[in-house]
Structure 1
Amino acid sequence: MGRYLDRARPFLGRDTSGFLDGGRYALIHTRSLEFDDLRPYVRGDDVRDIDWKASARSGDVLIKRFVSERHHKILVVADAGRNMLGESPTGERKYTVAANVIGSVGLVTLRRSDEIGMVFGDARGCLDIRLRRGETHVEYLLSHFHDHIRKRPGRSDVVTQLEWVAEHYRRPHLLVVVSDEPEVDDRLADVLTRIRARHDVLWAMVADHPAADDADDALGQDVVGGATVLSGAELGPQVVAAYVESERLRREELSEFMTSHAIPHALITGSSGIREGLVWLTGVYARAG
């Protein structure tokens, strides 16, 4: 493994079975005759795939799973702008969490032999790395993401990357968007309407460290504009409480917006939450198939 993939692996774990099974463009719709493993029966499975002998031994109804013959085309759409220089709630830089999310998605593709590419950048434009397979290619994606972040990135604007995809990717892909929490506005609504007409979308959002809380007694700095952010102690409990409530309402609005556009989404507060977030996202995707 390359160094960036090695960093991501502990947060996904070694068991990647079940990720991305199902879905509109899923490989589970066609199969080879090569047996893979067994899993519990769920309502809607083809009863012809039940392994009766294994079921009798285990006491549970088990389904045979087969190696897929066709593969997903996965396009990561990543914010590599200044927003990602900020801290997540765990104290990690958001770009570190984002890179581990991208690496984890890449690790899932290795077992399945899926193709993966990436569109990333900031408000100034996009870099487009075309789809390929393999460990070396995933490491290549991650190294270029890190290189961009280290070279004084521009203002974050993930809509710029989404508009590029809407314009240049005509064939259906599974898009995995990795960014912080986007601002809900007409531009975002317009591009998502266009994208959802052609692609499936999963959105992994890296959470911001709270700007203020009651336990915070240190000054902060806005990574976008450079302004000083007052501590919770200086702002006082009433201001902090109002901020916390406004953040709750903002996140509620964002979640409702994503749901209205049929986009599974997960808020990831740090690298330790990546597996849980991806399990949720890919589970929703599989059930939608």
Structure 2
Amino acid sequence: MVQATPGRSASIPGPEDLPRHGNGVSLTLKELLARAEHQALVRSADDGRARAQMAGERLSRLKGRGMEFAEVRAYQPGDDVRTIDWRVTARSGKAHTKLFRDERERPVLLCVDLGSRMRLGSRLLLQSVQAAHLAALLGWYVTARGDRIGGLICHEQGHHELKPRARRLGLLAMLEALVELHTADNRQDPAANGADYWAKALLRLQRLTRPGSLVVIITNPLGLDAPSLEQINRLRRHAEVRLFAIGDPLFDQLARNPGPLPVQLPHHNQPGWLDRRGSQHLAQRWQQARQNAAQLSQHHHLFLSELTAAEPLERQWQQLWL
């Protein structure tokens, strides 16, 4: 489903709430570049609310005993026994320990789902557009912090894999990939063109992730089912993971009051109608997916933040912590 258009009410955001240079449906490089002015929102959330909620969990940018190996030297009293190099110790007959270099440029990988299930928006933005704006906002923040940025942008018809790069080179490559893949024709039948694109993307993400990385995954609750979260959980063995689920109030409305719904299907150029039974099934499927994502994320000890495509990111800054 691409876009749902229920009747407008007074509570629905207006054109003034759209991102600067954006229309909520298409995506341009200009509007993603404009997100640079909002990076302070992430910084303030990261320094305040998130730090209080995640005491002891946040990995410092300067890690001390980082993930990059430096050298081996003789063991000294006070050294962490976990860093003992047992091979050198056995070979020399004397205890030796590994030293690690401080990791000052942390690799940050953004995995963004732009698949057909993200092409829905009942009020302000398509979920795919909000996902791209969230990735851009986090990207500007990460770049300003001095970390390297890369990642994976994907949908049914293709993907862009970006190795982490420093300064703005990595960010600009990320923004251009978001626009290119979002603009690509995504109306073809997913069953014939990569219905398993998300599972493949998560496997590629595992190969791309290096020890000590921060991995940010942006999708909607349908992308956080049990098999997906099992794959994501494997990343936690050597990386820090953050999940962002983009939602839409349409499904809550349909759960309370199911009825015929005007929609535009991804494989047709003209709008159609989803009957009462179909809209009720859609709402139940979404609500179940949302509950499962929350429960499974908690089970795997993964940090999950929920955002909506119906409000500007500026009003949801408290959920934008890393």
TM-score interval (norm. to shorter): 0.5 to 0.7
Q: What are the Cα deviations for residues 160-186 of structure 1, in whole angstroms up to 9, with x where unaligned? A: 211112134342311011122235555
Instruction: Say whether the 8 Å CA contact 1:75–1:173 is kept in structure 2.
Output: yes
Alpha-carbon separation, structure 2, partners of 1:246 and 1:193:
23
Structure 1 residue 249: deviation in Å?
A: 3.5
1:135 aligns with 2:141: no
Q: Which residue of 2 aligns with 1:70?
A: 104
Residue equivalent to 1:53: none
Matched, 1:252 2:291: yes
The equivalent residue for 1:6 is 33
Amino acid across the alignment from 1:26? S
Which structure 2 segments of 5+ residues have no match?
Answer: 1-28, 65-101, 187-192
Change (3 A) 1:25 1:226: farther
Write out aligned runs for 1:1-150 (5 A). Answer: 3-9=30-36, 12-13=39-40, 16-17=43-44, 19=46, 23=57, 25-27=59-61, 29=63, 70-84=104-118, 86-123=119-156, 126-150=159-183
SS of the counterpart of 1:19? helix
Aligned CA RMSD, in angstroms, stands at: 3.6
Structure 1 equivalent of residue 300 of structure 2: 261
The Cα of 1:152 is off from its aligned counterpart by 1.6
Q: Percent identity?
A: 14
Q: 1:23 to 1:126 in 2, by over 3 A?
A: farther
Give the stretch that moved more between structures: 97-106 or 266-275: 266-275
What is the deviation of 1:196? Answer: 1.8
CA distance in 2 between partners of 1:137 and 1:192 (Å): 23
Secondary structure of 2:211's aligned partner = coil
Partner of residue 194 from structure 1, selected from 234, 241, 258 = 234
User: Max radius of gyration: which structure?
Assistant: 2
Question: 3-state DSSP class of the match of 2:124?
Answer: coil
The 2-side partners of 1:235 and 1:16 are apart by: 44
Normalised by the length of structure 2, the TM-score is 0.61
Is the Cα contact below 8 Å between 2:219 and 2:245 reproduced in 1? yes
Q: Deviations over 1:212-235 (max 9, x none)?
A: 73497652133368897635xx52
Q: What are the Cα deviations for residues 11-66 of structure 1, in whole angstroms up to 9, with x where unaligned?
A: 65567246377755422655xxxxxxxxxxxxxxxxxxxxxxxxxxxxxxxxxxxx
SS in 2 for 1:27: coil
Query: Pairwise mapping of residues 217-236 of structure 1 onto structure 2 (< 5 A)?
Result: 219-223=262-266, 230-231=273-274, 235=276
Distance 1:182 1:95 in 2: 13
3-state SS, counterpart of residue 163 of structure 1: helix
State the distance in 2 between where 1:276 and 1:29 align: 32
Aligned equivalents of 2:269, 2:239: Cα separation in 1: 37
Report the AA paired with residue 163 of structure 1: L
Under a length normalisation based on structure 1, what TM-score does the superposition of the two structures give? 0.67
Gaps of at least 5 residues in structure 1 are 31-67
CA distance in 1, matches of 2:299, 2:314: 25
Match of 2:25 in 1: none
C-alpha distance 263-229 of structure 1, shift in aligned 2 (>3 A): farther
How far apart are residue 139 of structure 1 and its match? 2.5
**C-alpha displacement of 1:253:** 1.7
**Shift of residue 149 of structure 1?**
1.8
Please report how far the alpha carbon of residue 195 of structure 1 lies from its aligned counterpart in structure 2 after TM superposition: 1.5
Task: Supply the distance in 1 between the matched residues of 2:212 and 2:269 (Cα, whole angstroms).
Answer: 40
User: What is the count of residue pairs matched by the alignment?
Assistant: 240
Q: Higher mean Cα deviation, 154-163 or 215-224?
A: 215-224
* 1:48 matched residue in structure 2: none
Which segment is superposed worse, 88-97 or 268-277?
268-277
Q: 182-191 or 260-269: which moved more?
A: 182-191
